Amino acid sequence: MKVAFVGKGGSGKTTLSSLFARHLAARGATTVVIDADINQHLGEALGLDERELAGIQPMGHHLTEIKEYLRGDNPRIASADTMIKTTPPGKGSRLLRPPAHGVPTDPIHDRHSVNVGGVHLMVTGPFTEEDLGVACYHSKVGAVELYLNHLVDGPDEYVVVDMTAGADSFASGLFTRFDLTFLVAEPTRKGVGVYRQYRDYAAEYDVAIAVVGNKVQHPDDVAYLREQVGKDLLTWFPHSAAVRAMEQGRGFALDDFEAAGRAALDTLHRAVDARDKDWVHFTRQAVDFHIKNAQSWANEAVGMDLVDQIDPDFVLGPERTLAQAL
């Protein structure tokens, strides 16, 4: 299952992504968690120190190699240069599987993920001054879009993506790549403001969202969230002393998390598992976004009609990885 955490800046996306990933891994699930935010804090939230963080190879810094690998011998994609973030896989493309049993089986997971207590962390890399005018943040998250478009996840396999704040995620097709999107909302006007924006956009693209309240201190907070978001409110996390202690650099294990928080993690897990996988829909949306990108800017930028990259007979899904393995 592919899951995203979105919401207002500071609402708790990174904290909840890291806690949910730890929860999944503790249940024995294969879990990849990706930091796709401009400001990269997910590694820290998982307890990595500076030296360990420095050892991670950011996906956003190796876009060409990633494209080169994924295109495989797909005859419709002549070179990595002609591959854009929305170029969909087709016959001959290399597909990815989450690293079951803790062992990466492809060079993408092998090079770009680190195992943090059973969770496989991947990062886009920070947006630095050197990037100004050379690369844009969206080309870095493009690595995540390509990754998700080539990833076949099976039962009990999860990819959790910590997204950038606010509605910036709409700038690409990335926000449509998830089986479920958790919108983290503090019980404040601004917190629910982002929800409205997201809900309207999501409805247009048939994206499933569930609101997750965070930093709830009082029953009135829950009543406020209910009043504002109605049935979209899935669950909520308390304002947590254990999370605060973690922020203060003290050790943290899931068992330290308050019972209400652990129950909320269970609720997220069940909500994700209740989603039906629809590979046809997933593939069609990828293709639609590719056509949109090709026609709005990429055909001109690359100098060819990138709509030709679409393999009309290709549907991503478990059958494809099986065929690839034979």
Ligand X SMILES: Nc1ncnc2c1ncn2[C@@H]1O[C@H](COP(=O)(O)OP(=O)(O)OP(=O)(O)O)[C@@H](O)[C@H]1O
Between 36 and 77, CB nearer to ligand X: 36
Interface residues with ligand X (CB under 6 A) are 7, 9-15, 37, 39, 41, 165, 214-215, 237, 239-240, 243-244, 247
**From the list ligand X, Mg ion, none, which binds 247 (C-beta under 5 to 8 Å, kind-based)?**
ligand X
Rounded distance, CA 32 to CA 59, Å?
A: 14
For the bound state, the minimum distance from the C-beta of residue 14 to ligand X, rounded and expressed in Å, comes to 3
Binding segment (CB under 5 A) for Mg ion, from list 35-43, 57-65, 241-249, 304-312:
35-43
Q: Is the dihedral of CA 248, 253, 259, 260 positive or negative?
A: positive
Q: What are the Cα distances from residue 290, in Å, to 10, 95, 119, 131?
A: 32, 18, 31, 25
DSSP notation for 289-316: HHHHHIIIIIHHHHTS-GGGG--TT---
Burial state string for 33-52 with b = 16 or more CB within 10 A and e = fewer than 16: bbbbbeebbbbbbbbbeeee
Does residue 46 contact residue 33 with C-beta atoms inside 8 Å? yes
At 142, list the tokens.
């493009």
**From the list ligand X, Mg ion, none, which binds 244 (C-beta under 5 to 8 Å, kind-based)?**
ligand X
Burial state string for 290-326 with b = 16 or more CB within 10 A and e = fewer than 16: beebbeeebbeeeeeebeebbbeebebbeebbeeeee
For the bound state, the minimum distance from the C-beta of residue 11 to ligand X, rounded and expressed in Å, comes to 4
Given candidates 11, 14, 30, 164, which one binds Mg ion under the rule CB under 5 A?
A: 14
Q: Which residue is nearest to Mg ion (CB)?
A: 14
Q: Which alpha helices (DSSP H) does 169-278 contain, by range?
A: 189-205, 219-229, 241-247, 259-273
The answer to whether 240 contacts Mg ion (rule: CB under 5 A) is no
Between 10 and 117, CB nearer to Mg ion: 10
Q: Looking up tokens 């024995």, which residue turns up?
A: 28
**From the list ligand X, Mg ion, none, which binds 220 (C-beta under 5 to 8 Å, kind-based)?**
none
**Total number of residues that touch Mg ion (CB under 5 A):** 3
**From the list ligand X, Mg ion, none, which binds 40 (C-beta under 5 to 8 Å, kind-based)?**
none
Between 13 and 76, CB nearer to Mg ion: 13
Between 20 and 289, CB nearer to ligand X: 20
**From the list Mg ion, ligand X, none, which binds 90 (C-beta under 5 to 8 Å, kind-based)?**
none
Between 159 and 161, CB nearer to Mg ion: 161
Between 157 and 186, CB nearer to ligand X: 186
Between 9 and 107, CB nearer to Mg ion: 9
Does residue 135 contact residue 67 with C-beta atoms inside 8 Å? no
Percent helix, strand and coil across the chain, each to the nearest 5: 50, 15, 35
Binding site for Mg ion (CB under 5 A): 13-14, 37
